[in-house]
Every structure is written in C-alpha cells, then in structure tokens.
Structure 1
Amino acid sequence: MGADQQGTRLSGIAVFFYVFLPFALGHYLSALLRTVNAVLAPDLVASLALNPAQLGLLTSAFFVSFALVQLPVGIALDRYGPRKVQLVLLMVAATGILLFACGRSFAELVAARAIIGFGLGGCFMSAVKAISTWITPTRLPSVQGYLIAVGGLGAASATTPVRMALQYTDWRGLFILLAACVACTAGLIWALSPRTVQPGKARAPTVQSILDVYRDPAFRKTISLILAPHAVFFGIQGLWIGRWLSDVARFPDAAVAYLLYLSMAAVIFGAIAVGMVTEWAGKRGIKPLDVAGVGIALFVVVQVAIVCNWKPSFQLLSVLFTLIGTITGIEYAIVAQSMPPTLTGRAATCLNLLIFVGAFLVQAGFGLLVGMWAPDAAGRYPALAYQVAFGALVAVQLPGLFRFFMARRPAASGAVTMDLGASEA
C-alpha cells in the first residue's frame, strides 16, 4: 500500500504494475546494455579491428558518461519527478543505441556508447525514487533488493540470450531491437506511472554541500574499503571476464556466453544472499561494514586465484567473481544507514559518481595493460598479460582492505584487556 503527496492511495498490486514494473524494466535494460559488450566483443573486434585498449575505451565510455550525469539526474528527479526524467533520458538512450547500430568508425561508436550511458544514467535512481514515493519505508530495503535482482536478470540476458539472438541477426540488428525496447519502456513509464506533485524546486547542490559528503567520516570509511572493489566488479564483469575466458582459457564463443550467463545470473542469487547474510549478522550485533570486509577479502582471494592462472578453476572462478563481487552492492545501504539523513540523498549520487568513474578507469586501464603484449595469430592475448592486469587490480584493492582490518585490531585488543581486567577484579 502506498500514498503520494496528495494522499491518494494505491493497492499493492497497482504499485507493482504501475510503479515497480515499468521502472524495473528500465533498470533491466540498463544492466543489459552495460554488460552486453562482454558477449559482443568478438563481433566488435572483427567488425572494426579493435585492439584491447580501444575495446576497453569503447565499452568504458558508458561508465564515464553514466557517472557524469549522476548529480544532474539527482537534481532533476527532485525537481520534475522520475516519470518526466525517465521519459527524456530513455529517449536519449534509444537515440544513442540507434547511433551505435549505425556507427562505422571507432570514434562514432565511442560517442554513441557515451550517449547510451548518459541516457541510462538515471534508471536505478529513478526506480528508487518512484518506489520510495509509493511504498512504506519499512518495505523499501526488500523492494530495492528485488530491483537489484532485476538488474542481475538484465545482465544475465546480455549473455546466452544475446548469443542466441545473434543467430538470427548481427550486432547492429540487435542494437536496433534494443533501441525499440528502450523507447517502448519510456512510453510505458509515461503512460502507466502515476503522476505525483513535487513538493518544491530542489536547489542545485553547492560545492560546499558536496564537500560535506566527502568529508563525512562514515562516507570516507565506507568508500575506503568498498569503492575500489566495486569499481573492479563493474569494470571487469561487464567486459574483461569474457575476454579472459576466450583468450586465456581458450573457450569457444558459445562456452564463453554460457559461462557469462551463469556469472550474471549469480548476481541475482548474490544480491539476495547478501541481504539475508547482512540481516542475519545484524541480529547478532555484527555491523554491515564488517560483513562487507569479509566479503571483500573473499572477492580479492578470487582475483588472486585468477592471477595464479590455475586452469582447472577457470569456469568456477568466472562465476565466483560475479557471485562474491555482489557484496560490493552493500555500499549503498551502509552509506544510507551511517550518514546523517540530511546527507543521504547527495551521498547516493556522489557514490554513484565515484563508482562509475572508477569503473571507467578499471575497464579502460585493464585494456591498456593487456594491449602491452602482442596477440597470437588468432588474436588472443597471452595469459601473462591478464595476470599482470588482474595483479594490478589486486594491488589497488589491498590498501583499503589492509586499513580496514588494521583498524579493527586496536578495538579487539582493548576489548580483551577490559575482559581480563574484569576477570581479575
């Protein structure tokens, strides 16, 4: 049951069909388009003779424009509401997808990919804004979990289903179809989503108000541990896991698509599992940041195993990377719970900005490192190139993980000392 600002009430079924479903469909398509290049990489490389650096830049252009649009989208959502904002942004995305389908040069595809990222940059936040308007706060965490699971379904649809679709059309035809789906989703949101009255015009955030977020100790503590792994998760699972399976494991395209499907499907189970584990831990006095610390440590262990290049584990590691990597999504909940209510809205957009800038740097930088080696006659890059690139990612994540566990030692030592003193007394 939900109510808008005027007191109009909607039944749970109405909220599902008129609010959750249309906006979740936008988030589904956003996740699909974010990760689809992982499967299309061989086709894109063959069509335009791309090297790894170009492939990384092409795919990561989505992330940089996605990141840059976060703060303007946040302001627009407060001013005009998710219904109007999504109509405009999704039509921009549909235009970018059509331009990508028609692109004939590397520069044209990069520009089109950036437009796609710009247009899809508000899908998740618009969905959260719309859902939070129409449901009670106590149900919001579980509904957001369902929304993340829908994103996982979108990422899974970018794998084997896309490979199956390529049996009937090429990648250009596929993007034309996706452009039509995005435009139809914009129409559904406009037609079905209930109108709401905005309480007032939101002021643009000042430099000082943004600095307040970055200066907050809880925000800095959270991003110190989770930001780098979150960027690695987004940057690698959207492109380079597929290329690693193709170049290093030497799996055929069909096998790569299937493993990517399993990996992306793992996001659904991972998101649900993270929520369940965090809730279970909370009942026992364990903070979400502590759950995140253990999860990030396991995530880094998976990457170290990839660096070790043990061939029998390739299939398992590709799935574990995505399954365990979903722990990074807990970052949003930790920030929302640990920061003052007056900062949580700005914190969410600032967090998105940092995550997607980081994902751009990871995706493009990984390609630059791999491209330092020469490919073989089949266009595959050596295992050593990927070992070095993954090793660099591990090195980036270790400092935050080290600081987190070192910060816990004094507290643990103090607790032991207090217990001993109490026992002696």
Structure 2
Amino acid sequence: MDADQTTPRLSGVAVFFYVFLPFALGHYLSSLLRNVNAVLAPQLVGALALTPGQLGLLTSAFFFAFALVQLPVGIALDRYGPRKVQLVLMFLAASGAWMFGHGHSFAQLVVARAIIGLGLGGCFMSAVKAISIWISPKKLPSVQGYLIAVGGLGAASSTMPVRALLQHTDWRGLFILLAVLSACSGLLIWLVSPRSKPQGGKAPTVRSVLDVYRTPAFRNTISLVLLPHAVFFGIQGLWIGRWLSDVARFPESAVAYLLYMGMASVIFGAIAVGMITEWAGRRGIRSLDVAAVGVALFVIVQALLVIGYKPSLQTLSVLFTLVGTITGIEYAIVAQSLPRELTGRAATCLNLLIFIGAFLVQAGFGQVVGFWRPDLLGHYPAQAYRVAFGVLVLLQLPGLIRYYLDFLRRRRPVKCGIALLAEKEEYEIGTLRSPR
C-alpha cells in the first residue's frame, strides 16, 4: 500500500497490536534509558571520578537534548506522521547508545547521552499522535494511562533487571545491547504500524506551534502541573537513588530494589490515574481538578523528604514515584482540549517545557548538593538534600496557590447561580399551584 493512502478503520484488537504495542515499545526503551543512570551512578562515578555536579550534568544532558528536538519533531509528526518520524529517531537513539558504550571521557559520554535524548525525543509524542488518530478523545486518558504504565515498566526495568544484567556484562555492554534494541524498535514500527494519510497542505510553522501556548487550557494546565512534572522526571531519574544511598545509607542492592519498587509503582499509578480521571469526568469533575489533588499530595511527599521523616524512608522513596505519576495527566488534559490535528504540536509544547525543566532540576539539584563536602565514603550529608528538596517545594507552591484561588473564585458564582435557579423554580412552581 502506498504511504499516502488512507488505511481503513482498524478494530480495537488491531489498534492494540499494530499501533499501541509498537509505539509503546519505543516509549518503554525511552523510559529505560532515561532512568538507567540512577542504578549506574556508582559505576559511572567510579569510572570517571565524577562530582555531583558532573553526574547531574551528564544525566541531564538527555533532558536538554530531548527538549531541544521537541519543536522540529512536533512539526514533523503533524506533517509526515509518527511512522516515518520514529524510524529515523530510533536509529539516531541507537547510534547515541552505541557511542555511550564506547565512550572513555566525560565529554564523550555527555555528547553520546545528548544524542540518545535527541533520538528518543519523539517516543511519547509519536505514541500519543498515533493513538489519537485511531481512538476517540474520550478514551485518551485511560489509553494514555496505559502508555505511561508501559513507561513505568521501562523505568522499573532500569533498576533490578539492569543490576542483574550487570552481573554478566558491564555498563558498556549494556548500552551496546540497548543500541541494538532501539534500532529493532524503529524497524518494528516501520514494518507493523499502519500507514496514515499525511496532513497535506502547508507545513506547520514554528509560529503555529507557539500558538498552542496561547490557548487558555494549555496555560492553565502548565501553570499547575509543569513544575511538578519536571521535578518528577528530574529527581526520579537520578537523585532519589542517590538520596537513598547518601541519606538513608542503604547498600546498592537495597537501593536498586527500592528504585524497582518505585518505578514499578508507576505502572499501577498511571493506570489508576486514567481510571480515576474518567470516573471523575462522568461525574462532572474536571481533569485539572484531579491533577490539583495529586500535585498537592506530591508536594506533601517532598515536604516530608525535607524534614527527614525517619520512620519510613523506604516508603517515602516509593511514594515519591507513585504519587508523582499524576503529573502525566497533563498530556490527556491538553489532548482533550485541542483539535486532533494539533495533538502532535501540543505534545511538543508540553515536552519542550517539561524536559527543559527536568534538565534544570536534575543539573541544579546536583549543583546544590555539591556545595557540601562528602564524607570519607563519598556520601553527602542529609542537610544538602534537605536544602535541595526545600528549594523544589518552594518553586511548586505558587502554582498550587494560584490554582486554589482560581478554584474558589469559580465556585462562588456557581453557588450563586444555583441559588438563583432554585428560587426561580420555586417561584414558577408556586405560580402554577396558586388558584386563578
């Protein structure tokens, strides 16, 4: 079939096997590569004698490159479709992983990590775009929840499974294997996923992408969820593991296990978020209201990290990841509020902001911790992490406060309107019942 022809409407089973699974595999690998440095950090620090600032910069190079590629990828997705775009990007990611496995200096690894980020920059967007072509907007929250759950599975695979694999190879061999898997993923998408008709007409411009930022629904969503989402990505992918090692003083095996439990909780958290959002929608509760409750809980967990809630540091590390999955709801909120032909650009705008934020969070967190001196075993003091987490909490509070002030303003006229409507109905009923 020619690539420009329109594919007949697919059944639900066909969408699952030919659309969801191939693109979800790419998202799985993206999450694995994004988070794998949390487990590999001791090996990387030992091999290259990295400081916390260098470790943060090395790992966050993924986020910077990921953000850098968002605008061109979003335009390409709406113009050429996810099938063609993903083939090119997955091969680029494979080349970056191959370079990382053969790198021997800090600069080489930073460049290789950035190339991985460039290649994986379209995985989630492509999946969202492909799924939105074949399913109704009402089902987007739950299906995207399943997609995020697959990402959680990839994140979980970056912990204990990677640690087990390191018993048979080193971190270099691991990245060479991931390079091969990334290339195979791109080929699978090209061979299996259905061809869809290109958008046609004039190619989307950067200005048309920036127009998404001007929509009220987009602005309201990012003002509440953007910073928590950046914190979730930036801390989950590196620093929660270092916190378990330096503050809680768990050995590497225990850290890997707790990271696995946290990453695995993303699977259940993402599915639960999708189900709760749909349940709330049927009862007239906005998705943004659901997100606000989740963000508030997420900030509370971080506040407990600041004060050093000692009875259960293990539980806090898992709760950080579990509750943090609520931040992924902003993709569904924006996708529901914009026309279908803009979904690629909308996801682009979100990813651009989220991953720039994650880069700043991950690199900045390392710089703050680096102000303190490590002990003889290389552990940084708890005070360093408390200050770093405290800064993150303070940055997220304004968005929550703004939302709840807007919520109170919205509730006030609604109550007045209901009262006036009740008085009107009571008057009309009384008039009908009065004798003529």
TM-score (norm. length: structure 1) = 0.93
- For 2:415 and 2:15, the matched residues in 1 are separated by 51
Larger mean CA deviation between 218-227 and 414-423 belongs to: 414-423
Aligned-pair CA distance for 1:251: 0.3
Q: Is the 8 A contact 1:75 1:202 kept in 2?
A: no
Aligned-pair CA distance for 1:76: 1.7
Describe the SS at the equivalent of 2:328.
Answer: helix
Aligned-pair CA distance for 1:182: 0.9
Q: Which residue of 2 aligns with 1:162?
A: 162
- Alignment-mate amino acid for residue 196 of structure 1: S
Query: Relative to structure 1, is the Cα distance of residues 306 and 85 closer, same or farther in structure 2, using a 3 angstrom cutoff?
Result: same
Aligned-pair CA distance for 1:278: 1.4
Query: Which runs of structure 2 are paired with 1:244-259 in the superposition (5 Å)?
Result: 244-259=243-258
Larger mean CA deviation between 16-25 and 293-302 belongs to: 16-25
- For 1:340 and 1:77, the matched residues in 2 are separated by 15
- For 2:343 and 2:314, the matched residues in 1 are separated by 39
Q: Is the 8 A contact 2:142 2:271 kept in 1?
A: no
Post-superposition Cα deviations, 1:200-248, rounded to whole Å, max 9, x if no partner, equal 25513243x3443222222211111111001001110011000000000
Q: Which residue of 1 aligns with 2:21?
A: 21
Post-superposition Cα deviations, 1:39-72, rounded to whole Å, max 9, x if no partner, equal 1111111110001111111111001111111111
Larger mean CA deviation between 78-87 and 251-260 belongs to: 78-87
- Alignment-mate amino acid for residue 158 of structure 2: A
Q: Is the 8 A contact 1:270 1:324 kept in 2?
A: yes
- For 2:44 and 2:121, the matched residues in 1 are separated by 23
Q: Which residue of 2 aligns with 1:103?
A: 103
- For 2:51 and 2:193, the matched residues in 1 are separated by 44
Query: Relative to structure 1, is the Cα distance of residues 213 and 109 closer, same or farther in structure 2, using a 3 angstrom cutoff?
Result: same
Show structure 2 runs of 5+ residues with no match: 428-436
Q: Is the 8 A contact 1:32 1:158 kept in 2?
A: yes
Q: Which residue of 2 aligns with 1:75?
A: 75
Q: Is the 8 A contact 1:6 1:197 kept in 2?
A: yes
Query: Which runs of structure 2 are paired with 1:368-387 in the superposition (5 Å)?
Result: 368-387=367-386
- For 2:380 and 2:346, the matched residues in 1 are separated by 40
TM-score (norm. length: structure 2) = 0.91
Post-superposition Cα deviations, 1:259-287, rounded to whole Å, max 9, x if no partner, equal 00010011111111111211222222221
**In percent, how many aligned pairs have the same letter?**
72
Query: Which runs of structure 2 are paired with 1:125-164 in the superposition (5 Å)?
Result: 125-135=125-135, 137=137, 139-164=139-164
Q: Is the 8 A contact 1:18 1:193 kept in 2?
A: yes
Q: Which residue of 1 aligns with 2:327?
A: 328
- For 2:361 and 2:289, the matched residues in 1 are separated by 25
- For 2:7 and 2:106, the matched residues in 1 are separated by 52
Q: Which residue of 1 aligns with 2:434?
A: none
Q: Which residue of 2 aligns with 1:273?
A: 272
- For 1:235 and 1:15, the matched residues in 2 are separated by 32
- For 1:163 and 1:391, the matched residues in 2 are separated by 31
Q: Is the 8 A contact 1:235 1:363 kept in 2?
A: yes
Query: Relative to structure 1, is the Cα distance of residues 376 and 116 closer, same or farther in structure 2, using a 3 angstrom cutoff?
Result: same
Larger radius of gyration: 2
Q: Which residue of 1 aligns with 2:432?
A: none
Aligned-pair CA distance for 1:386: 0.1
- Alignment-mate amino acid for residue 41 of structure 1: A
Count of equivalent residues:
421
Query: Relative to structure 1, is the Cα distance of residues 293 and 196 closer, same or farther in structure 2, using a 3 angstrom cutoff?
Result: closer
Question: Aligned-residue CA RMSD in angstroms?
Answer: 2.1
Q: Is the 8 A contact 2:129 2:344 kept in 1?
A: no
Post-superposition Cα deviations, 1:97-121, rounded to whole Å, max 9, x if no partner, equal 0111111111111100000000011
Larger mean CA deviation between 354-363 and 308-317 belongs to: 308-317
Query: Which runs of structure 2 are paired with 1:12-411 in the superposition (5 Å)?
Result: 12-135=12-135, 137=137, 139-200=139-200, 203-207=203-207, 209-339=208-338, 344-411=343-410
Describe the SS at the equivalent of 1:169.
Answer: coil
Aligned-pair CA distance for 1:347: 2.3
Q: Is the 8 A contact 1:263 1:318 kept in 2?
A: yes
- For 1:220 and 1:137, the matched residues in 2 are separated by 20
Post-superposition Cα deviations, 1:2-55, rounded to whole Å, max 9, x if no partner, equal xx9535354444433332222211111001000000111111111100011111
- For 1:375 and 1:285, the matched residues in 2 are separated by 52
- For 2:289 and 2:186, the matched residues in 1 are separated by 40
Post-superposition Cα deviations, 1:131-158, rounded to whole Å, max 9, x if no partner, equal 3334455544433222111111001100
- For 1:376 and 1:81, the matched residues in 2 are separated by 52
